[in-house]
Amino acid sequence: METNLMRFLEMSVQTFALASVWRSASSMVTPGTMLNEPLALLPTLEPFTIPVTLLAVIGSVAATHIGIRGWRKLRRAINKERSDLPASISQPPASSDRQDRLVADLQNQIIQLHKEKEALARLIEEKSASLRQDHLTGIANRLAYEEQLQQEFLRWKRFGNPLTLLIWDIDRFKQINDHHGHAAGDDALRNLAQQLAVRLRNTDFVARYGGEEFAMLLPGADAPAALRLANEIRRQIAEAGFIQGENRFPMTISCGLASFEAGDTPQEVFKRADQALYQAKRAGRNCCRAALP
């Protein structure tokens, strides 16, 4: 488009220049001579009139032609330089400060997301621990017991190591509530939970099963070893009782236990331990009984 326009302008200038030459030459002939015979009249002109005029017109045309040619060359050179420039130079680059701000913003967002992830993980862990804790006594609750029982059962099936389940129950707990109040009953529960917990190994487990009942798992202990430990705990609790404020109240507990045998399920073992606890109650309380295989 631009090349065609330049050629049109150039031809127009040349045509205009030639027309001017003929017009100037025609004006120099004698009056009354026809313009369609310019060549026949040339000898009557003054010797230097036509050459000077022709030179002036030709100079103007040449200057115009050279100027147009130069302008066109300059335009081509500029366009070539622009086309040779790399894309990163021919287009204005993004501001360095803006890029730095974007990178900093992204880094801050990543750090913030990492902090939120850690906070969420801690919250989930805290909520999970809270769901598995008995809020009155501070030890594990029945939900945690069910999970731990399943884990120990699978471990027992795989390795075959001894595993014994114990069920504890406070003797005449209703009388403690009736005679000393429910606050005393709560203190008795907290006291028993702590005494059971401090006498266990790291691998053992104890939880409040419900009401005044507690469940205990002793991995690696068979029925005779578990019965000896149970009687030691029972005697120590009977001697200590529980303390509420400045008052000390008597408290005894009973225990029934059962070991896992070949072909057992957790439900069957719990049923045998519960039956053994019932036998301990019928035997006068403040005693422990082991279920027969």
List per-block mean pLDDT (blocks of 10 residues) for the chain, which spans 293 residues: 52 54 48 42 42 48 52 61 54 70 89 92 89 96 97 97 98 94 94 94 96 98 97 96 87 98 96 98 97 88
pLDDT value of position 97: 86
pLDDT value of position 82: 58
For strands 253-259 and 205-210, give the pairing: unpaired
CA of residue 174 relative to chain centroid, distance: 52
Cα separation, 121 vs 141, in Å, equals 22
Answer yes or no: are the C-beta atoms of 141 and 195 closer than 8 Å.
no
pLDDT value of position 216: 98
Cα separation, 15 vs 189, in Å, equals 120
pLDDT value of position 5: 47
Active centre residues (catalytic): 212
pLDDT value of position 52: 44
pLDDT value of position 68: 53
**CA distance between the termini of the chain:** 106
Element (H, E) at 261: none
Question: Which amino acid is present at 67?
Answer: G
pLDDT value of position 206: 98
pLDDT value of position 45: 40
pLDDT value of position 243: 85
